[in-house]
Structures are given as structure tokens and as C-alpha cells.
Structure 1
Amino acid sequence: MSDDDERTLGRIETEVALLMRFGEATRRATGTAEHRVLDRAAYVILRHLDAAGPQNVSALAAQLNLDGSTVTRQVSALQRDGLITRTPDPSDGRGTVISPTAAGLQRMAAVRSARTRLYGELLADWSDEDQAALATLLGRLNQALVNRNRRR
């Protein structure tokens, strides 16, 4: 690896670390309550269930690259809050399938809308091409992370 490659990868590592830090700080500091009606884990679970449909805990854990016990705890909290329901798994009578409730989808949509507005404000002076390039590159980075985690 050349020095230039190493410097570039170091910059990427630093920028990703800062992105994660600033993203969380921005979420906590944003004045609107919409950003805070769901914690990050609940939001990700509800987004996934909305996109992929009802799933059992094992499939959900695999898709989100989380330990099953972690997902079980998060799902229990979501159920207590009325944001998901559990029904018997038709393919395995011993298990359950998790689905978002209307209230869960409503909260998830409120957070997504608030975040979309925030990014619209942050990127208002970026060209459409730069915004599209950022979306593409972030998508590629996320897919590379998913692929790496699946190989483990």
C-alpha cells in the first residue's frame, strides 16, 4: 500500500468516525421532539420491518448483524411501547413473527421525515449531483460493511 493510499484510508476512517459522532450529537441536540420519539435501535428495526415485512427474531438479527438476545431485548421494549406485535410464526409454531403496528410505523415515519428535513437543510447548498454522489457512496460503504459482516 502506498503512502497516498494509507493517507486516504486514514482520512476516510477519521471522517466516518466524525460522521458517527456528529450524527448522534445532532440527533440529541435537535430541538424537535420528532428526532427523539425513537432511539436508534428502535428506528432501525422499524425501518427494516417496514421495508422487508414481518420477520422472526433470528432473521431480524441476521439482517441487522446483531446478536439474537440483543434483538429480543429491543423487540420486547418495542412491544411494551405498542410499536410492534408478535404473532405465531406460520413456518415454525414455536416461534413468533414481529410486525410493526400502525403506531410504530407512524413514529418511524415522523423520525424519517424529521431526519430528511434536517439533511435537506444541511445539504441545501450542495448541488443535486453532489447529493446524489453522497447517497451513492454512502450506500456502497454500507453495502461493503454488510458484505464484510456476512462473511464472518
Structure 2
Amino acid sequence: MTGVDREFLALERELAVFLRRARASSGEMAREIHPDLEPAAYGLLVRLEETGEQRATALAVYFGVGKATMSRQLRALETLGLITRRPDPDDGRASLVALTDEGLARFSAVRNARRESYVKKLEGWDSAEIAELARLLHRLNSLQGGTDD
């Protein structure tokens, strides 16, 4: 086994642990927002909070899921009162999705608590290390999803 092979095996191992923990964390955060919220929907709330109102199709493309999957997830969020949909004035066939005030309040409370948890976990890291980790994860995510956002 070469050094490169060992490096990629180590990367695979660490990503597997990271992803498993991230899924569990998303589930916890989703339940804190609303007990009936699916873990996958937490990412939708993150995206809507960051970008504001968006077309459902743009969200589907960003997350790499089909329209039917996105529609189901958005319907669940709407039923819970966390998002609202309205017709797109530029295209009546499309809808624009946004967080409701309640959705934003619940999301912000959970996100702020999670941020404080990260601050505690990474208290031994300096800000340059945290910035570098964020930069590298963004770079990896850009490869995964084909986006440079």
C-alpha cells in the first residue's frame, strides 16, 4: 500500500465518521426545531436562511434531489408552519419558498445553540484553523454538489 492509498483510506474513514455524526446531529437539530421534522429538512432551512426566498427547483438542484423529493420535503415544512410558498411572479408555474417568521425563529434558536456547542468543542483551535477547516469543507462540498456557493 502506498502513502497515497493510506491517505485516501484515512480520508474515507474520517469522512465516514464525520457523515454519521453529521446525520445524527441533523436529526437532533431537526427535532429541536419541531418534533415531526425530518432530519433531511434541516438542510433546507439552512439554505433558505442563508439565501432567502428561492424557487423549489433551485433547491432541488442545489441539493441534488428530484423535484418529487423536494416537493414532499417542502410540503412537510409548510404543514409544520416553517415555510411558506407563493407563486413566482416571473413564472406562474413555479413557486417561491421562504421561511416563515416562526420557522426563522425556531431555526435561529437551534442554530445559535449549535454554534455555541461548536465554540466549546473547538476552543483549543485558533481562528485560522477553524477558517481553514471551513475553507476545505467548502472546497470538498463544491466538488460533491457541483456548486461554488
For the superposition of Structure 1 and Structure 2, which TM-score range results when normalised by the shorter chain?
Answer: 0.7 to 0.9
- Cα distance change, pair 130–118 in 1 and its aligned pair in 2 (3 A): same
Contact 1:27-1:36 at 8 Å conserved across structures? no
SS at structure 1 position matched to 2:123 = coil
Distance in 2 (CA, whole Å) between partners of 1:120 and 1:54 is 29
State how many pairs are aligned. Answer: 144
Distance in 2 (CA, whole Å) between partners of 1:22 and 1:92 is 40
Report 1:58-77 matches (<5 A).
58-77=57-76
Please report how far the alpha carbon of residue 6 of structure 1 lies from its aligned counterpart in structure 2 after TM superposition. 1.4
Please report how far the alpha carbon of residue 102 of structure 1 lies from its aligned counterpart in structure 2 after TM superposition. 0.6
SS at structure 1 position matched to 2:118 = helix
Please report how far the alpha carbon of residue 34 of structure 1 lies from its aligned counterpart in structure 2 after TM superposition. 8.3
Structure 2, unaligned runs of 5 or more: none
- TM-score (normalizing by structure 1): 0.82
Q: Which range moves more in the overlay, 136-145 or 71-80?
A: 136-145
Q: Is 1:110 the counterpart of 2:106 in the alignment?
A: no
Contact 1:89-1:95 at 8 Å conserved across structures? yes
Corresponding residue for residue 122 of structure 2: 123
Please report how far the alpha carbon of residue 95 of structure 1 lies from its aligned counterpart in structure 2 after TM superposition. 2.6
Q: Give the % identical residues.
A: 36
Distance in 2 (CA, whole Å) between partners of 1:124 and 1:34 is 25
Corresponding residue for residue 13 of structure 2: 14
Q: Which range moves more in the overlay, 137-146 or 74-83?
A: 137-146
Distance in 2 (CA, whole Å) between partners of 1:35 and 1:123 is 24
Find runs of 4+ consecutive structure 1 residues off by over 6 angstroms: none
Please report how far the alpha carbon of residue 144 of structure 1 lies from its aligned counterpart in structure 2 after TM superposition. 1.7
Contact 1:87-1:96 at 8 Å conserved across structures? yes
Distance in 2 (CA, whole Å) between partners of 1:35 and 1:112 is 12
Distance in 2 (CA, whole Å) between partners of 1:57 and 1:86 is 9
- TM-score (normalizing by structure 2): 0.84
SS at structure 2 position matched to 1:40 = coil
Distance in 2 (CA, whole Å) between partners of 1:59 and 1:7 is 38
Structure 1, unaligned runs of 5 or more: none
SS at structure 1 position matched to 2:146 = helix
- Cα distance change, pair 140–35 in 1 and its aligned pair in 2 (3 A): farther
Corresponding residue for residue 143 of structure 1: 142
- The higher-RCO structure (CA 8 Å, 6+ apart) is 1
Contact 1:34-1:114 at 8 Å conserved across structures? no
Give the aligned CA root-mean-square deviation in angstroms: 2.3
